[in-house]
Structure 1
Amino acid sequence: MADHSKDDIFQLIKKFGAFLTLKFNNLFHNLDSRSIGAIAGLAVAILFTWRLLRSPSEPQRRQPKRETTAPSSSGPTNHSNPNQISSGVSSQDSGAQNVIDEFFQPVKPTLGQIVKQRLSEGRKVTCRLLGVILEESTPEELQKQATVRSSVLEVLLEITKYCDLYLMERVLDDESEKKVLAALEDAGIFTSGGLIKDKVLFCSTETGRTSFVRQLEPDWHIDTNPEIIHQLSRFIRYQLQIASVKPERSAGNILSSPSLEEFFGCV
């Protein structure tokens, strides 16, 4: 039984070592203050797990020796119950396995990490406002009001931390521009420091928005208009089409999602 237990422990250590190798590779790839704290935590966990794995090994070697001593036929017997011994070892092994299993639970990435991964390290992003950032979907609606979608704010602010973001939209008059800028300012988009009012661009035609994108040459463009998406597919590395229904046909560099926040897994 001792050899069998040693083999099990060896396998657990081997499994845990492979896990640590993977985690250390990931941590050193994106090393920051949180990663350093995670490394320290893993070091403590290694010591704790090693001690936990070693603790049952000594009793397991001694217990079979006690069972070989046969008592006299007279008087009370002091045999150890084999079932109790087996249960104790199994419980200790189970505790060690539980510790390791906790480390094997997938670590949920932060929204910032998801944004960087999904955008493939893209550094410049252009995005239309209507139907993506704003609740309104037509320029005519902007003449009455402009409302920032609350569910998109967190994602938008994370994008501004990692990317050079430009917002753009077709409007029918100057008042619409003022309403849009006021709505963005009230939502706190300009206070993070990643986006300024000069990077919110307005035009009077859809062709004007296409020209903006061509001139800025972003890594990503986000839009709701399938025609613009199609026209830009030859010039822009990646595009995200916001559409309630997934397009049947699209180029390999065009992705789709019902909303910007859903693309980053925030819904």
Structure 2
Amino acid sequence: MVDSSKEELFQLIKRWRDFITVKMSNLISLFVQNPDSRSIGAVAGLALAIFFTWRMMRSPSGSQPRQRKRLATMPGNSGVSAPSNASVIPSGVCSSSDDASAQNVVDEFFQPVKPTLGQIVRQKLSEGRKVTCRLLGVILEENSPEELQKQVTVRSSVLEVLLEITKFCDLYLMERVLDDESEKRVLVALEDAGVFTSGGLIKDKVLFCSTENGRSSFVRQLEPDWHIDTNPEVITQLARFIKYQLHVAPVRTERTAANVFSASSLEQFFGSI
């Protein structure tokens, strides 16, 4: 039984050592590439976890000699009966309990760390630095220029993703409209939703045209790394000229080219819903 406990402890220490090696390597790599507050906090958190786990694993062996000493110095008075088995906890049981606690800590740290939305956006966009995106059906609830003549509604679920994109990408929004009033409604709706407050997107980067070909022309002139659209014809026309495209459609479509991806929404593509 003692040998079994030692073997379990040895395996626990081995797993912990291997985990620390991999985790520290990953965190150091993350810190070097992106030395922000999150990566610093992750390194500090791991260091604290290592320290407290070490204390937890060390405490049983440190407490046992003191326990044995107290038992050895108990008075040998014949009138005092020896403690019963129910009141004495064998040292092996304590060790197993502490080992189990340490194992739980290790298992907890073996759980994969969930990446932030910003990290997902960077990964999905393959570190692209310029993005163009149509408004209808992607940023706005409306799906046609005719609807914009009546109202403009910004999709609340897309705002977090949109703001993450603007943090490290040069983002241009564009749409076909039928009149100047529609342009004004769109700009007011975007401003009220807080799209322009982050500093990454300004009104001058919201472009309007009168035809679908006009939007395609905007995209080709801007030469983005990514273009996001709902019109399959525009996607097909631009496939030869744009590095990557995202086709947003309610029903998932077959990929028309190796550089064209599809999703039911911008949020779904980045896994934020």
Return the TM-score normalized by structure 1.
0.87
Moved more, 101-110 or 1-10: 1-10
Asked if the contact 1:9/1:53 (under 8 Å) is kept, the reply is: no
Counterpart AA for 2:42: A
2:61 counterpart of 1:53:
no
Q: Deviations over 1:235-267 (max 9, x none)?
A: 211111111111134212111111111111221
Specify the alignment match of 2:212 in structure 1.
206
Specify the alignment match of 1:36 in structure 2.
40
Partner Cα distance (2:130, 2:47) in 1: 38
Counterpart AA for 2:38: R
Q: What is the CA-CA distance between 1:24 and the residue it aligns to?
A: 2.1
Moved more, 128-137 or 234-243: 234-243
SS at match of 1:221: strand
Specify the alignment match of 2:74 in structure 1.
none
Q: Deviations over 1:183-222 (max 9, x none)?
A: 1111111111000111111111111111111111111110
SS at match of 2:138: coil
Partner Cα distance (1:218, 1:137) in 2: 23
Matches within 5 A, 1:65-214: 84=90, 86-214=92-220
Partner Cα distance (2:11, 2:221) in 1: 58
Partner Cα distance (2:192, 2:104) in 1: 49
Counterpart AA for 1:128: R
Counterpart AA for 2:134: R
Amino-acid identity (%): 71
Partner Cα distance (1:233, 1:13) in 2: 53
Where structure 1 has 5 or more consecutive residues not aligned to the other structure, the ranges are 67-75
Counterpart AA for 2:45: G
Equivalent pairs counted in the alignment come to 256
Moved more, 196-205 or 228-237: 228-237
Partner Cα distance (1:188, 1:55) in 2: 53
SS at match of 1:239: strand
Asked if the contact 1:6/1:57 (under 8 Å) is kept, the reply is: no
SS at match of 1:134: coil
